Amino acid sequence: MQRMLDVDTRGQGLYEVTGRIDTWLREIGAVEGLLTLLLRHTSASLLIQENADPEVQDDLKAFFERLVPPATDPSMAYLRHTYEGPDDMPAHIKAALLPVSLSVPVWDGRMRLGTWQGVYLFEHRTRPHRRQIAMHFA
């Protein structure tokens, strides 16, 4: 069973998709099996993270902005792939550091996530993008 999940983003940050994945699992009548998610882009990421306090998501975003600042930052002067904007090459680097695919066991029709875990798309680009997650259940 495969399906594409479109996610519209409006700037850098985390976008939760847990509910939409649960809905798809219900639609296909999934009971027990393995869910695989693959993000089909090289300037955004998938992430399983805490779903309780939104400040966690702000702090995550702030950490990665400091670890990989825009190409206009003096510390990034060594970058050569800069013609797609100052946020582009840092986005590729963050996409290397964070997951592009996730594997989640499903039991009783639900992802076996922990209590505080949600599934997110982490957008690294500044401008709005339409992103695609390939979902696979077997």
Which listed residue (48, 85, 109, 126) binds a copy of itself by CB under 8 A? 48
Q: What angle do CA 104, 50, 3 make, to 5 degrees?
A: 35
The verdict on 105 binding a copy of itself (CB under 8 A) reads yes
The verdict on 8 binding a copy of itself (CB under 8 A) reads no
Rounded Cα distance, 81 and 31, in Å: 45
Rg (the chain; Cα; Å): 16
Which listed residue (18, 56, 69, 86) binds a copy of itself by CB under 8 A? 56
The verdict on 5 binding a copy of itself (CB under 8 A) reads no
Q: How far is CA 55 from CA 16, 49, 58, 75, 124, in A?
A: 14, 12, 5, 27, 18
**Pattern 11-30, a copy of itself, x by CB under 8 A:** --------------------
Rounded Cα distance, 33 and 106, in Å: 5
Which listed residue (6, 29, 74, 78) binds a copy of itself by CB under 8 A? 78
Asked if residues 50 and 56 have their Cβ atoms less than 8 Å apart, the reply is yes
The two tokens of residue 47 are 């992430």
Q: Scan for tokens 């306090």, then name that residue.
A: 53
Distance of closest approach, residue 94 Cβ to a copy of itself, in angstroms: 10
Residues 81-100 that bind a copy of itself (CB under 8 A): 81, 89, 92-93, 95-100
List of residues contacting a copy of itself (CB under 8 A): 2, 32-34, 36, 38-42, 47-50, 53, 55-56, 58-60, 62-63, 66-68, 78-81, 89, 92-93, 95-105, 107, 112-117, 132, 134-136, 138
